[in-house]
Amino acid sequence: MAVLVVAGSGREAGKTAVGCALIAAMPEFRWVAAKISPHLHGVGEELWEEPNSRSEKDTGRYLGAGARRSFLIRGVSDSRTAELIGEARSAAQECDALVVESNRIAAQVVAKCGEPSCSIAVVVGTESEWKASLRECIGSVDALVLVGGVSPEEFESTFLRKPIFTMTAGQWSMPELVGFVRDRLLLANS
């Protein structure tokens, strides 16, 4: 299974929008989505599957974009999150690609040995406004997606060594980003 992790600088950064745009742009993959949230979201289970592709919830948006299955994992520790992602993968055996929306779990943690993976971080605002969880994981992402006029000059030089894709909020797909992610996810299959 190919694994894509989409992290972000905070709420409303565009993580779900970018994840959905990538799913829609790569129909050659059979996607399963997992949104990780520390919030309870009013559902009683730690792992909940979205049944409705018309739902306005992020899990429904993933289905609407073309994911075959979509799950919410909520209110659990990082180690339990990895276990629940494994359960979602097992439940979606018809899928060959996984998108995980989270700052708390790295692609290397959920990708099994030999599986291709890619991590991107969707960034809005200044570095001082970022969630602490993004600051902790930013070193392990493969590329940065800068949204809404964020400039690479605003970041530490270590981030500038990563591929950077700049987009306008509301235009969540760009051929260069799709090509980058596709190449990373197909790398092991070539």
pLDDT score of 44: 67
pLDDT score of 160: 63
Domains of the chain: 2-189 (3.40.50.300)
C-alpha distances out from residue 182 to 111, 115, 177, Å? 16, 14, 8
pLDDT score of 158: 61
pLDDT score of 40: 61
Residue whose entry in the numeric block shows the structure tokens 């919030």: 39
pLDDT score of 76: 84
Residues of the chain with pLDDT under 70: 39-44, 156-160, 188-190
Residue whose entry in the numeric block shows the structure tokens 């129909």: 27
The string of pLDDT tens digits covering residues 10-35 is 888 999 999 999 999 999 999 999 99
pLDDT score of 190: 46
Q: In what order do the strands lie in the sheet with 47-49?
A: 47-49, 69-74, 31-37, 97-101, 2-8, 117-123, 143-147, 164-167
Is 146 within 8 Å of 164 (Cβ atoms)? yes
